[in-house]
Amino acid sequence: MSLDSITNSVDKAVSDFVEPIATKLGEIVFYSVPVGGTELPLIVTWLVVAGLVFSAWFGLVQIRKFRLAVDVVRGKYDEKGSDGEVNHFQALTAAVSGTVGLGNIAGVAVAVSIGGPGATFWMVLCGLLGMATKFVEVTLGVKYREVHPDGTVSGGPMHYLPKGLTERFGRNGKVLGRVLAVLASAMILFFGLFGGNLFQVNQSYAQLVSVAGGEDGALGSSAGALFFGLLIAAVVGIVLLGGIRSIATVTSRLVPSMAAMYIVACLIVILANISAVPDAIGSIFEGAFNPEGVAGGILGALIIGFKRAAFSNEAGLGSAPIAHSAVKTKHPASEGLVALLEPFIDTVVVCTMTALTIVIASPDSWTKARTDESIGGVTITSDAFETVLPWFPYILTIAVMLFAVSTVLTWGYYCLKAWTYLFGRSKVSELSFKVVYTLFAVAGALLTLQTLIDLADAVLFSLAVINIIGLYLLAPIVKRELNNFLEYIRSRKAGAPDSSGGADEDKDPVTTTV
């Protein structure tokens, strides 16, 4: 029996078993209601409303404290002797690597095809709102993290939900928190194995095959798929063995490089079509409020834009606090501010650059996709770049590979923390997980398992329901932490000695209002 026949059999068997479960859970989690001629997924409303509430609660912290967030990333307010494993910049790049991926390349293309250019406007707005949600959940992640005797750190919803709810509501909160923590861990682990690992490897392999001669090329065979899977698994396994410090070292170099490469390519296409820029920007704003050919009109464009942004930056899902919790700091809100840059980079910058490139280049595939023809999102984005850079599909393949590898690495860390919360932190437990995770990377090159991936999406977004309820209940604690950090900044700027015994000479004023 050939390897192809084995994998096909496995795909079919898993699909037949899981499909009914995936379909039912998907119907519940992504339940949609008809609004103005289109369908509105309630989970998207849940995420967007959270962004609105937290933006109001914290006085548009994502705008007022944006410059301060950048200063913290630069290390301006670092404190020596702080618990943690990585610096602010490394924590940010590790978390960004988990969100910036194929969704920014393919998902955005689908959004501007279905929702028109106007979807870009709503995508940016949703990204800005998500910055506030990310600030809240990451501040809690650092506040209630667990620092182990060996100096390593564990954080995330499985820690801040039980500890925070116990602190606020006593015994009743403790029981509820423990139940939610177990559910959160299981959801993160399940999604990480299939969505954060297997799917990423599968899609990057498909893109590589497409530029390497297709199924008749050297990598198109099952042997080529196995080789690719083993190669990715080896890279992931080696980096995972080093923990978050190793992951952060890789992502702190990989994320800025791949983001810069991708954005430069976008700028080349935009500059080559500079005369079309005013019309493209005009079509984005006009399409946001008066879209043509979009089901549901303005609501249709809004829903598509919000959906793409919510799915891309993962604000409110509880995943990013796991990476951010490893930061070296004594003030939880400092990393909360750093984290609000994450949706800005992921959605406001990278997603918007992709959308602008497609709208400005207007490749034939995008035009056809807008008339209901089924065309893959990666194809549309690739064609947009190819209008100016004929060789860009090869560069896009490299970008997809880098995005995929960084996502697999970060989700490997997320899964490890969920695994150890459920099964303990022994060396045997951790090694067992790393073996399982690397085997899933191999499987990603061989198996599609689309129904399991669909199920994983539904599982992760169901976590958002649990997580955001917790964020609402714990928001007063976040406000207190923000005030504490702003007071610390004020004292530093006034010349008071910092925790390392030095003094900050920067005397710029800083507001302490919230």
| Residue among 278, 253, 277, 282 at smallest CA distance from 266 | 277
- Is the model more confident about 514 or about 169? 169
pLDDT tens digits for range 351-404: 888 889 999 988 888 888 877 666 666 778 888 888 888 887 777 778 778 878
Q: Output the six-digit token pair for 254.
A: 């990989």
Rg (the chain; Cα; Å): 23
| Residue among 421, 339, 330 at smallest CA distance from 84 | 330
Dihedral (CA of 32, 33, 38, 43) sign = negative
How far is the CA of 109 from the CAs of 23, 53, 276, 384, 418, in angstroms?
A: 25, 29, 19, 10, 33
Position of tokens 């026949």?
A: 5
> What are the backbone angles phi and psi of residue 362, rounded to the nearest 5°?
45, 60
Name the range with the highest mean pLDDT among 199-208, 300-309, 436-445. Answer: 436-445
Q: What pLDDT is recorded for position 507?
A: 39
Give me the CATH code for the 11-490 domain, please.
1.20.1740.10
pLDDT tens digits for range 225-263: 888 888 888 888 888 877 777 777 777 777 777 778 888
> What are the backbone angles phi and psi of residue 29, rounded to the nearest 5°?
-65, -45
Which residues in 61-94 are b (16+ Cβ under 10 Å) and which e?
Answer: bbeebbebbebbbeeebbbeeeebbbbbbbbbbb
Could you give the 3-state DSSP secondary structure of residue 39? Answer: strand
Q: What is the DSSP letter of 40?
A: E
- Report the distance separating Cα 379 and Cα 366, nearest Å: 9
| Residue among 445, 354, 388 at smallest CA distance from 113 | 354
- Report the distance separating Cα 256 and Cα 457, nearest Å: 27
Q: What pLDDT is recorded for position 512?
A: 37
Provide the 10 A C-beta neighbour count for residue 20: 10
- Report the distance separating Cα 320 and Cα 423, nearest Å: 21
What's the N-to-C CA distance of the chain in angstroms?
66
Q: What pLDDT is recorded for position 417?
A: 92
Strand partners, 146: 154
User: In degrees to the nearest 10, what's the CA dihedral of 311, 313, 319, 323?
Assistant: 160
Q: What is the DSSP letter of 275?
A: G
Average pLDDT score over residue span 301-312: 80
Q: Are 206 and 396 in contact (CB under 8 A)?
A: no
- Report the distance separating Cα 311 and Cα 346, nearest Å: 11
- Report the distance separating Cα 352 and Cα 117, nearest Å: 11
Confidence of residue 510 (pLDDT cuts 50, 70, 90): very low
Confidence of residue 304 (pLDDT cuts 50, 70, 90): confident
> What are the backbone angles phi and psi of residue 39, rounded to the nearest 5°?
-105, 130
- Is the model more confident about 76 or about 514? 76
> Which has the minimum average pLDDT: 6-15, 26-35, 138-147, 417-426?
6-15
Average pLDDT score over residue span 181-195: 90
Q: Output the six-digit token pair for 263.
A: 């954005």
H or E segment and range at residue 472: helix 450-493
Q: Are 211 and 50 in contact (CB under 8 A)?
A: no
Go through the chain and tell me how many residues it has: 514
Confidence of residue 513 (pLDDT cuts 50, 70, 90): very low
- Report the distance separating Cα 442 and Cα 101, nearest Å: 19
Provide the 10 A C-beta neighbour count for residue 473: 17
- Report the distance separating Cα 421 and Cα 437, nearest Å: 16
Average pLDDT score over residue span 192-197: 85
| Residue among 36, 108, 496 at smallest CA distance from 312 | 108
Helix and strand numbers (H, E) in the chain are 23, 4
pLDDT tens digits for range 317-362: 888 899 899 999 999 999 999 999 999 998 888 888 888 999 998 8
Q: Are 351 and 358 in contact (CB under 8 A)?
A: no
Q: Are 417 and 240 in contact (CB under 8 A)?
A: no
